[in-house]
Structure 1
Amino acid sequence: MIIPEEAAKKIDDIYKSLVFANQKDHEIWFEYVFLSWQWWFCVIFTIIPWVLWWKCRKKESTNRLLYGAFFIMLISMFFDSFGAELGFWDYRYEPVPFLPSFTPWDLSLLPVIFLVLVQIKPNISPILKAIFYSVLSSFIGEPFFEWLGFYKSINWTFLFSLPIHFLIFLIGYSLVTSKNFEELKPK
């Protein structure tokens, strides 16, 4: 065996502890979260923004815009999972208990807000849009979900999120406005 026996045993013990903790977490989820009003709220916040965007989107730009939205989802889930794993925050009412990220936020609200901001007023500076996006996400969205009890900040402050959301928006914006796509035009 390439891994030393002692290290392998420690890894196995920790893994067993994690599996046990996850099983207990899933039991709590099924007993207290699944089908609660909070669960339904999360499901609605995951689906409705996409339905509204789908009806109002600029149809000829759908693929280009979804490219940016998928980037926002991927990087948001990565950072969200990373932060939860490091103990910076925790979620209490996940729609799906198997992901260490908050689905309505990472897979719906953040990307759809991004899409709306990219589509409206395409001549406004992306820096201004990134500022608006990061302030909205960091100082309205995160505190709102914490106030509802869905999110618990443990070793994190909303101010830390501001530059992260700012950069995520700008990178996503540069992806969708790349010269490989058609130019953005007002609706």
Structure 2
Amino acid sequence: MSNQPTWEEIVNLREILKETNVQYWLNENLFTFPWWFLLITMILFWVIWWIIVDKSKLMEILLYGIMATVIVILLDVIGVSLMLWGYPNMLTPLIPPIFAIDVGHLPVLYMALYQYFPSWKSFLAAMIIAAFVFAFIFEPFTVWLGIYELNNWKYIYSFPIYILIGVFLKWLLIKVKCLESYSSSQ
């Protein structure tokens, strides 16, 4: 007899985990200060972004933001799945684990940097400063609020990742724009 779990056992455990997660969220998260903080700041980020975004470049900036969102969600799901970090307080008990930050704070920050720092030199400087603020100020602040916890992760690991996401996406979007420009001139 094997000690290997069957798919049915895994599904049953996932069902128990889902129910436990929802009950925890309803009893420990919903309408608490961290929950309100996440909700209000996510909405504020998007409202401020809508006010300041260059609407003549809306499609380009949104594409950058959507790509940032996809990468951030993917990395977050991987990190949570590998137990590198977790979120004791969330807006919803659903995936992505920290919806407000993955779909609100980070994409808006990336889009603002992309819009306001068009040259590589200014973008890199702004990206380094933003990554520093996010890794060494915002992440510890969310730990203090009980929103985020580090399991097998350190703030220093986040710092280069924030930079790489922004730089990769700027490079990719420049390539896409060149391809589009080349294709339309044919």
Q: State how far apart, in whole Å, the 2-side matches of 1:25 and 1:121 are.
A: 41
Ranges in structure 1 where 5+ consecutive residues have no aligned partner: 1-5, 183-187
Provide the residue aligned with 1:179 in structure 2. Answer: 178
Deviation at 1:105, TM superposition (A): 1.3
Please, which of 111, 116, 122 is the counterpart of residue 115 of structure 1?
111
Equivalent pairs, count:
177
Please, which of 114, 134, 139 is the counterpart of residue 137 of structure 1?
134
Paired residues of 1:39 and 1:93 also in contact (CA < 8 A): yes
Task: Return the letter of the residue paired with 1:173.
Answer: K
Provide the residue aligned with 2:184 in structure 1. Answer: none
Structure 2 SS opposite 1:179: helix
Q: State how far apart, in whole Å, the 2-side matches of 1:154 and 1:8 are.
A: 26
Q: Which deviates more, 129-138 or 61-70? A: 129-138
Structure 2 SS opposite 1:19: helix
Structure with greater helix percent: 2
Provide the residue aligned with 1:162 in structure 2. Answer: 159
Q: State how far apart, in whole Å, the 2-side matches of 1:68 and 1:81 are.
A: 20
Deviations 1:111-143 (A, max 9, x none): 111111122243361322332232122112211
Q: State how far apart, in whole Å, the 1-side matches of 2:97 and 2:21 are.
A: 14
* Equivalent runs, 1:5-84 vs 2, <5 Å: 10-84=6-80
Question: Please, what TM-score do these two structures have when normalized by structure 1?
Answer: 0.86
Question: Please, what TM-score do these two structures have when normalized by structure 2?
Answer: 0.86
Q: State how far apart, in whole Å, the 1-side matches of 2:134 and 2:17 are.
A: 31
Ranges in structure 2 where 5+ consecutive residues have no aligned partner: 182-186
Q: State how far apart, in whole Å, the 2-side matches of 1:48 and 1:139 are.
A: 22
CA RMSD of aligned residues (A): 2.1
Paired residues of 1:42 and 1:95 also in contact (CA < 8 A): yes
